[in-house]
Amino acid sequence: MVSYKELGLVNSRELFKKAVDGGYAIPAFNFNNMEQLQAIISACVETKSPVILQVSSGARKYANQTLLRYMAQGAVQYAKELGYEIPIVLHLDHGDSFELCKDCIESGFSSVMIDGSHLPYEENIALTKRVVEYAHQHDVTVEGELGVLAGIEDDVEAEHHTYTEPDEVVDFVTRTGVDSLAISIGTSHGAFKFTPEQCTRNEEGVLVPPPLRFDILEEIEKRIPGFPIVLHGSSSVPQQYVKTINQYGGKLSDSIGIPEEQLRKAAKSAVCKINIDSDGRLAMTAAVREVFANKPAEFDPRKYLGPAREELKKLYMHKTESVLGSAGKG
């Protein structure tokens, strides 16, 4: 058993309290490889932002769970070397079983998500409670989820949103003991969050998606005031990346994300953790495609992964400074 405390990581409890009180959200960025991790840490150190490093089951399969854990441990030292000690959480994203959560807790994670959102309500409660009981023995914080996001989550695909039912939240958080709650108010995973038919066009002809259900968020906040709320599926799908990808041989159409102003607004409420993965994928792909197109003779991975890392860092700095408001809070 390795405790996250020995690795210099922190759980999310204090960070969420400060974020709710201060009207900002902590970035939860997914990573699968070294360049992503370097970009996340250097961006968050430079903007003095706390950060949640997220590892999905897919990331564990891709990169190897042991390597990822050592990389997170290395990230703590890397931040120190860069000259500023930001709080770093190592979080399991979309944990789907008690065993997986336990395994992560025992290998140094400081926070886990148990995603029982696809289960019948009582089963979600039973599973979440079991994870909370184990996690809290080790001072690890737990995120639960109520409501189903449309789109793809690992292997589960839901065609429509099932918005979180505000009348269930008090019962869910009290019976499970979770530390934070992921909700469904119109965000979804991936780079294709809305179809053009669901959007309207503004004066410049840009597709504008339907707004998030802030009415549901308000109802939830009324029932559990100050309780930490999490938003998954919060990439904004920056159109400059989509354009660059398509300009250099890619084929993305109708990629539409959550407008940044809406995330900014959410971050000022009890939403204290905002999950972003797809935007990073787009930034990296755009940068790599550009190098491949403009410098076809290049074959040193550092020559294309380096620019990709730079672009990612810019993206993450922008998120902490201009979207989540977490810059300067670390």
Structure tokens at 67: 């390597």
Active-site residue list = 93
Q: Name the H helices within 259-324.
A: 260-267, 278-294, 301-318
The listed partner (Zn ion, ligand G3H, ligand 13P, none) that binds 58, CB under 5 to 8 Å by sort, is ligand G3H
The answer to whether 142 and 113 have CB atoms below 8 angstroms apart is yes
Residues 271-330 that bind ligand 13P (CB under 6 A): 275-278
Give the residue, chosen from 129, 161, 232, 313, that forms a contact with Zn ion under the rule CB under 5 A. 232
Q: Which residues contact 155 (CB under 8 A, 6 or more apart)?
A: none
Structure tokens at 238: 């920056």
Q: Does 235 bind ligand 13P (CB under 6 A)?
A: yes
31-70 b/e (C-beta count within 10 Å ≥ 16 → b): bbbebbbbbbbbbbbbbebbbbbbbbbebbeebebeebbe
Minimum gap (Å) between residue 109 Cβ and ligand 13P: 15
Q: Which residues contact 262 (CB under 8 A, 6 or more apart)?
A: 211, 212
Q: Does 58 bind ligand G3H (CB under 6 A)?
A: yes
- The residue (of 189 and 273) whose beta carbon lies closer to ligand G3H is 189
- Taking Cα atoms as reference points, which of 265, 258, 175 lies closest to residue 221? 265
Give the residue, chosen from 45, 51, 59, 125, that forms a contact with ligand G3H under the rule CB under 6 A. 59
Minimum gap (Å) between residue 146 Cβ and ligand G3H: 16
Q: Does 96 bind ligand G3H (CB under 6 A)?
A: no
- Residues near ligand G3H, by CB under 6 A: 30, 56, 58-59, 93-94, 153-154, 189, 277
- Residues near ligand 13P, by CB under 6 A: 30, 93-94, 189-190, 232-235, 275-278
